[in-house]
Amino acid sequence: MDSKNGFNSYPTHYGPYPINPNLIRRYPPQIPKSYGVPPRPLILPSFTTLPLSYWQLLSPTFFGIAGSLFLSLFANDENDLLENFGGNFFKLGLVGYSIGAIIAVSFCISRVVTDPKTHVHSFVYPIGGALASVILLFTSEYLLLYRFFPSSFKGDVGDNLITQFLSFLYFSITTIATANLGDILPDNLTARALIATEIAFNLFTLAIGIQLLLAQKS
């Protein structure tokens, strides 16, 4: 009892006031509300920047395309000299170059597929680019072989350079798809060797595709 005021005086403070009263009352702490768009899972890009090694491994196909098309412009009616004095070396070099270019492209695809930093959805562009370069490579090589040795193929491929290029582009696409309709046929060992090399690359790419499909399902 306070003698001056006439009422009981109770202490109102027993120490430092807590910083957060909710901790003493056992209330859950208040979490501020977040406004805006909720966080979304990270979406992997469907296209990644291709490294320099990819283009280096594809460079033999690009040089082969350019060189074959350039040499095709110099074909004339006097190709008997090439047949008599250097025809076999020319054909052997053509087949050998195509095999070397295919090996480089195969290494290119294998490096892209086995790269742990590359997502499976990012394989479409590099593998598609490799397939397109191989199709154009064999198109130009078929054209070069036919321009210097017309007896290498049977069938109507056209009378001018543009028509022949389109005919062999069709032939290269149907060959790599193993769906040749038989309207253009090889007639010597060099043409058959080129066709076999292109089909072998198709089988390699098909095996890679099956492997990726099985890995994605698992």
The encoded tokens of residue 135 equal: 């199709």
Residue 174's pLDDT is 93
Interatomic CA distance for residues 15 and 29, integer angstroms: 23
CA angle 70, 51, 57 (to 5 degrees): 40
In this structure, the number of other CB atoms found within 10 A of the CB of residue 19 comes to 6
What is the value of pTM for the model shown? 0.72
In this structure, which amino acid lies at residue 200?
Answer: A
- Quick: pLDDT tens for 91-149: 999 999 999 999 999 888 888 777 666 555 567 788 888 899 999 999 999 999 999 99
Round the average pLDDT of the chain to a whole number and report it: 77
Q: Which residue has the higher pLDDT, 107 or 49?
A: 107
Q: Look at residues 188, 187, 183 and name the one whose alpha carbon lies nearest to residue 170.
A: 183
Residue 172's pLDDT is 95
